[in-house]
Structures are given as structure tokens and as C-alpha cells.
Amino acid sequence: MTNDPSEMTYGINILKEEFKKLSRAKDVQLPVLSQTEHQGYIFCFSKKKDSLNQWRSYTSPKYGVCIGFDIDVIERKINSQIEMPFNIWGNWVQKCIYVSDEQPLGKEGVNRIKEFYEFLIENDLIKIDENGILVCTHGNPVLYQNDNEMFDLALIKHRQLCFNLTKFLSLFKHQCYFEEQEYRLFLNDTGLAYRLIEKVESPDIPVFKSEVNYKTNRYGLTSYLKVQFPFDVVKEVMIGSEVRAENLKILKEMLCVGGDNWQREFAQSKIPFLS
């Protein structure tokens, strides 16, 4: 669940329209992405590390901390520790696509949709049927329940398509949030896409750990994924402008443990916070 429930709607409508242009199909019929069957979780980053709007919206000026992550390290760790049962589109962490009714899809967004469309074609996930409609290549797995081999193939293709569609659609965000310059890491409710297998050679190797939790918010009861990142993905730490400066020393001691030689930046925000 996101702060803007319309994000998925924006994405689905735009994706269908662009796929129709690319394929020259009469219509586009993608699988229904219900929240219950294909629920996912989004870990959000911002490219702007010292933004007054972000300090005001997401933290307290007296206790706020901005943590900078090394996205390249995150990518390498996920790829080395997780065995995917199918191909996924693009990197794990992706830049958001900003759209609105008044703001049409830009050239960059069009190109990214084209790349995604080509990925789906190359992986035999979508095709144009005999009626000129763009559909799932293997259809509903239930249709093959009397044929075990075809059922298994259709099921994995269905899961691959739904995971990648949900991952791509999670990138759409309303144009009014453009200032945040958001990037997103999409995980799904089974822990990185349909029962992925962790490949950890030694218990001493820092790994990503996740746990599903539940909380209440203004929409009611919702689940969230509690993710424990290993320390070496942290690139920099910035404290709010009203946080006591001596906290930087404590943070250095906390993060640089065990003779840690990783080069991290520690700083205090220079933005004067006016509440």
C-alpha cells in the first residue's frame, strides 16, 4: 500500500496504452493484479539527501537522521544471495516514473516502457493472439490442470509476468511528488518473488533479512516488511540541523565496528529548519 492509492491505476492505464502502440494490437489484456494475490512491498529512497521538504515530511528536526545507501552494493548483495526462479526486468532499485493527468509521459518514461515491453516479448510472456489482442502467452495455469508439464510451465510464466508487471507498475508516482526524486526497491510478500532461495555460504556473511509485520494506519490494518540491511550497504549518514553535533561521533562509533575500514561520510544538515 502506498500513500497514493491511484499510483497503480496511473501505471496500468499508461502501460496498456503504450503497449498497444508498440504492438499495434487491437487491445491489451494483462492479468488482473489484485492486492491479495500479488501484494508487494516498496522500499523507498530519495536522490536528494538534504531536502527541507523531506526533513519536514518524514522526520523530526531534533531527532532526524538521513541514511545514504550504496545502491550498487545493494544490487550486488541481492544478486549474490538470491536465486531467482525466473528472469526479472532491470535492476532491483529503479527510478520512479512521474505522471499525472496534466503531465504526459516523457521521453524517458516511453523508452523505459519500450525496454520493459521488449523484455516481456523476449521472455515469451506476452504475444498477439489470433484476434489481434496482446495477451499472456500461456494464459491461465488452471487451463492446464490436467497436463502437469504444461501446468508447471504456465504457472511459472504467470508468476514471472505478474511479478515483473507489479514491479514495473510500482514505479509510477504522481507528478506532484517529483521533488522527492524517488527510487524504489520492490519486494513481494513471499520474500523476493515466489519463494526465492537464499544462497548464503557462511553464517558470518552479512545478509538481507526480512520479516512481515502488521500495523494500523489511516487506511486500517496493513502489513509491512521489516528489512534488516547489513552495515556495508550504508554509504553516508546525515543528522538533522537541530540534532546535537556530538551525535555524529556516536554514530561513527556505532557504524564503524570491528576495525571497519569502509569509507563513510558523516555530516549535519545545513538547512535551517523552521517549524
User: What pLDDT does residue 42 have?
Assistant: 86
Distance of CA 36 to the CA centre of its chain: 18
Q: Given 3-state DSSP classes, what are the helix, strand and coil percentages for the chain, each rounded to the nearest 5?
A: 35, 25, 40
User: Quick check: 46 and 183 in contact, CB under 8 A?
Assistant: yes
Residue 127: Cβ-neighbour burial (10 angstroms; 0-12, 13-18, 19+):
middle
User: What pLDDT does residue 151 have?
Assistant: 84
Cell numbers 553516508 correspond to what residue?
236
d(CA 105, CA 17): 11
Determine phi and psi for 159, rounding to 5 degrees: -65, -40
User: What pLDDT does residue 36 have?
Assistant: 40
pLDDT, tens digit only, all 275 positions of the chain: 555 566 677 788 889 999 999 999 999 987 755 444 556 788 899 999 888 888 888 887 667 889 999 999 889 888 877 777 788 999 999 999 998 877 778 899 999 999 999 999 999 999 999 999 999 888 777 777 788 888 888 888 888 888 898 899 989 998 989 999 999 998 775 444 333 333 344 444 445 555 678 888 777 887 777 777 777 888 888 988 888 888 888 888 877 655 555 667 888 988 876 55
User: Quick check: 52 and 125 in contact, CB under 8 A?
Assistant: no
